[in-house]
Amino acid sequence: MITIQNKDISFIRLFTITSCFSFALLMLRIVKTSSPFFLFLVWNLFLASIPYFITLLLKTERLRKNKLFLIIGFTIWLAFLPNAPYIVTDLQHIRISSLDSIWFDVLLLLSFAINGLIIGFAALKNMQEILRHHLPKKIITIATYIIFLLCGFGVYLGRVLRWNSWDIMTNPLAIVTDISRRIIYPISYINTWGFTICFGTFLILLYHITSFLNNKQQ
């Protein structure tokens, strides 16, 4: 049986409220335009939430102490984590806004993007808490930076190359081929690494800002 900590329950409640606000904006747009185009945001936010709920499972004492289960859980968690910051890139759809009041679509997309970042950072915080039982703090800090860069790379795979997390299981060879080319011939794929570093750095800076504000309030 999974026992959810009080702080996680409080977070889930708040996240549900902010998500409902995003859904309400989306429903208003659908009614106003009779177009379901932005419904994909709901799916993207669902995918972004998967890593968080994986950590709730891994935080149970019995599973946390099972190293094999932890490794498998961490691998799945890492594969889905880029879905959280990925929603930020959905802002590109503002270019095809059909509303006269374009600010509404800006608010709609931003609300989903911010929720994606929130649930992503919460999933990372939970994973850090889990790893503290197995690794020293310095290693976890270094791993956090690497994870953010991997997220940047993952967002590139999803947004530019159009791969998704499920393809890791359904079409692994093609994904490995795409990744291998970019590692073996980095100069030929300079845009890949430029995107990865810029987006990863953005996440690192945002992580430090939110961590500073959180620590200041405590």
Letter string b/e over residues 116-128, b meaning 16 or more CB atoms within 10 A of that residue's CB? bbbbbbbbbbbbb
Q: For residues 157 and 170, give the distance between their C-alpha atoms in angstroms, rounded to a whole number.
A: 15
Q: Which two tokens stand for residue 87?
A: 């929603």
**Inside any domain, residue 1:** no
Residue 1 pLDDT greater than 60, yes or no: no
Cα–Cα nearest to 135, from 70, 189, 86: 70
Contact 53, 16 (CB under 8 A): no
**Structural domain contains residue 89:** yes
Per the structure, the complete domain to which residue 65 belongs is given by 6-217
Higher per-residue pLDDT: 164 or 116:
116
Q: Enter the pTM of the model.
A: 0.92
Please indicate, yes or no, if residue 127 is contained in any of the structural domains: yes
Q: Which residue has the higher pLDDT, 4 or 33?
A: 33
Confidence category of residue 28, pLDDT binned at 50, 70, 90: very high
**Structure confidence at residue 164 (pLDDT):** 86
Q: How confident is the model at residue 169 (pLDDT cuts 50, 70, 90)?
A: confident
Number of structural domains found in the chain: 1
